[in-house]
Structure 1
């Protein structure tokens, strides 16, 4: 099961959004705190200025009226508010403390009763009464703040920009990962565009260089194998012709068998060296399996029985030539080294279509399973003289990967060898034109 944030892009999204949320919350708290401090300081400065202005007015022009909302009250007036409690809100408590710090020592500061216009009552040691001046309202934090709207807009814009940057960063890596997957499956891999940061460009350049060198080595090996196999066909044909003219029937049959074994090895060399995409027409696998088994029985009437268990249906299709080579190599391998009956199965699983061939022989030793698909490796030295070159399972694995699938070789719990090939749904049903276009078409589609 694929997790949504298991990719590089998903983890970049988590990191970016987490950092943005953390920074925005921190800035919001700092701004709110500083705004409250600024508001308190402004209210304190305004109150101190008004109190000093009233005192100057009383001292210099006592006969002149005071400005609106500014007044003096006698000490014994019943309107004088009570001494503030300790449970008043923290902003109001801080305002009173700051105001006392700015006024002379011994000044009594009180706030008017709730419900009226916000004002502060001040009585100093030299004042004959209470000086009442208005103050800026010190409101507690509101449930809704316009700053939250601005922060939400800034946060959304930053997230979109960060996601675009993360996508731009991971896109070259995704292309490189897809190319590595194709190269690992043995499929033709076009050069990956070198883009992104410097380290990523260097990595892509090294991968492209490695693909070119490996492809050149593969081409040289394929040309060598094909050339040797092709050059051997002519002398083998002459040997067979001369063997047919021999008078000794027993010797003639022995030579013909040896020539046929050598011809089979040459044919395997040619198939293994074949490195081009299969351009044959896709055919339903179930129907083609039935035809191949009928043809196999007709050509070799005395071979071991082959059972069919075909459950995939007509939706499972593969190129005809690839399917013929896969089944012919697997049937030859099962008949040569396995035990009857040989079972061909097709079915649909969660990962894709499955084509498997199994026998009921002894199977392969667990330590040798990893070497079973290596070219030119014979797990049984006694098999060397039977026209086998150690290429059968190697050809099967290469053909399966060329067709976009995966090959798994293992022993059955009840005995015998089982070769299972899994083909993804999008590969097994790919149109012929796209198959012939190869990976270049896939690259353009990304």
Structure 2
């Protein structure tokens, strides 16, 4: 602006910018009498461009950002909470209801999940109550029968008149029924009410192996600290060892290895005939007895199922892997868990 005035006036006047109260320029005019200043107002600055292309790009950018924010707040975040709730159920934990927030479809999905979770938990409670009730109800008549068999019945009860061979057979049957009721109780509980404690797993397994003195049980244990339910874990690994001793062949190997900083594996390896590949999945199902792999008395097919349930509670699983003949044959029962599993509610 100043070069233009200089050209038109023939000289360059003194100029001063002004911001307040109005935006403009003060121009000093040459006057023989007194200084004269002329104020020339300037248009206000426009913060928004009137360029149509720029306005269109601004609108598109704003719409994309608003859509991304909507997806994050109303869809992605509620779906992540729903995924965490589903992970708890998948890990074997009781699980907690997912909050019904976010978009309409996400809220409906959360409500359906919560309804399904309620039915699953109610069915699980009924099943556990039924199994525990059956086991408890059977304990009393079994105890009375055992007392009568041993001649220790209450006054007024008649003793069973059986020869020694029949008494031995009846005693074996009563022991078998006692083991079955005990398995029912263990399967109904499966460590659900026990708290998680951080323990050295290698020491826990060494203490368990002391109960198998005289058996050909070898140890290969890494030093690992993990958050576990000690009683439930000992019960699960004890079931695997008992299963290997009864249906497998020596030597047995109990191995503890660290898979990664977040997971461990406890392997029980025997050199027996193993289980056919087509029956591996069936072997860990409740109340399944495989003729070629489970021939003992007093078992109802819950040993491996109990171990699997406890593994799920510990954020892992139970896998049965056959060992090839080139490697010596046998079966590897692999119990793996998370070092910090989700605690059951």
| Residues 65-103 of structure 1, C-alpha deviations (whole Å, 9 max, x = no match) | xxx9xxxxxxxxxxxxxxxxxxxxxxxxxxxxxxxxxxx
Query: Equivalent residue for 1:175?
Result: 81
Among residues 155, 165, 173, which one is paired with 2:70 in the alignment? 165
Query: Equivalent residue for 1:362?
Result: 273
Report the Cα distance in structure 2 between the residues aligned to 1:167 and 1:204, rounded to whole angstroms: 16
Which has the larger Rg?
1
Unaligned runs of 5+ in 1: 1-67, 69-145, 440-446
Among residues 383, 393, 405, which one is paired with 2:316 in the alignment? 405
Report the Cα distance in structure 2 between the residues aligned to 1:261 and 1:361, rounded to whole angstroms: 24
Report the Cα distance in structure 2 between the residues aligned to 1:148 and 1:256, rounded to whole angstroms: 94
Deviation at 1:186, TM superposition (A): 2.2
Contact 2:227 2:340 in 1 (8 A): no
Residues 1:425 and 1:153: Cα distance change in structure 2 (over 3 Å): farther
Deviation at 1:424, TM superposition (A): 2.4
Unaligned runs of 5+ in 2: 1-7, 9-50, 152-159
* SS across alignment from 2:225: coil
Among residues 251, 263, 267, which one is paired with 1:352 in the alignment? 263
Query: Equivalent residue for 2:185?
Result: 270
* SS across alignment from 1:192: coil
Among residues 115, 123, 141, which one is paired with 1:235 in the alignment? 141
Residues 1:294 and 1:382: Cα distance change in structure 2 (over 3 Å): closer
Query: Equivalent residue for 2:95?
Result: 189
Contact 1:285 1:317 in 2 (8 A): no
Report the Cα distance in structure 2 between the residues aligned to 1:385 and 1:289, rounded to whole angstroms: 25
* SS across alignment from 1:426: coil
Query: Equivalent residue for 2:199?
Result: 283
Contact 1:283 1:319 in 2 (8 A): no
- 1:336 matched to 2:246? The reply is yes
Deviation at 1:317, TM superposition (A): 4.4
The higher-RCO structure (CA 8 Å, 6+ apart) is 2
Root-mean-square deviation (CA, aligned residues, Å) is 2.9
Query: Equivalent residue for 1:120?
Result: none
Deviation at 1:255, TM superposition (A): 2.5
Contact 2:198 2:225 in 1 (8 A): no
Q: Which shifted more, 363-372 or 149-158?
A: 149-158
- 1:208 matched to 2:111? The reply is no
Query: Equivalent residue for 1:251?
Result: 166
Aligned residues: 281
Between structures 1 and 2, the one with greater helix share: 1
Q: Which shifted more, 392-401 or 185-194?
A: 185-194
> Aligned ranges for residues 25-424 of structure 1 at < 5 Å?
161-168=66-73, 169-245=75-151, 248-274=163-189, 276-279=192-195, 281-297=197-213, 301=214, 304-311=215-222, 313-350=223-260, 352-380=263-291, 383=294, 386-413=297-324, 414=327, 415-424=329-338
Contact 1:373 1:397 in 2 (8 A): yes
Contact 1:284 1:318 in 2 (8 A): no
Deviation at 1:236, TM superposition (A): 1.4
Residues 1:243 and 1:213: Cα distance change in structure 2 (over 3 Å): same
Deviation at 1:277, TM superposition (A): 3.5
Report the Cα distance in structure 1 between the residues aligned to 2:53 and 2:104, rounded to whole angstroms: 39
Report the Cα distance in structure 1 between the residues aligned to 2:52 and 2:173, rounded to whole angstroms: 90
Deviation at 1:195, TM superposition (A): 1.6
Report the Cα distance in structure 1 between the residues aligned to 2:57 and 2:173, rounded to whole angstroms: 82
TM-score normalised by L of structure 2? 0.73
Residues 1:387 and 1:381: Cα distance change in structure 2 (over 3 Å): farther
Contact 1:408 1:420 in 2 (8 A): yes
* SS across alignment from 1:349: strand
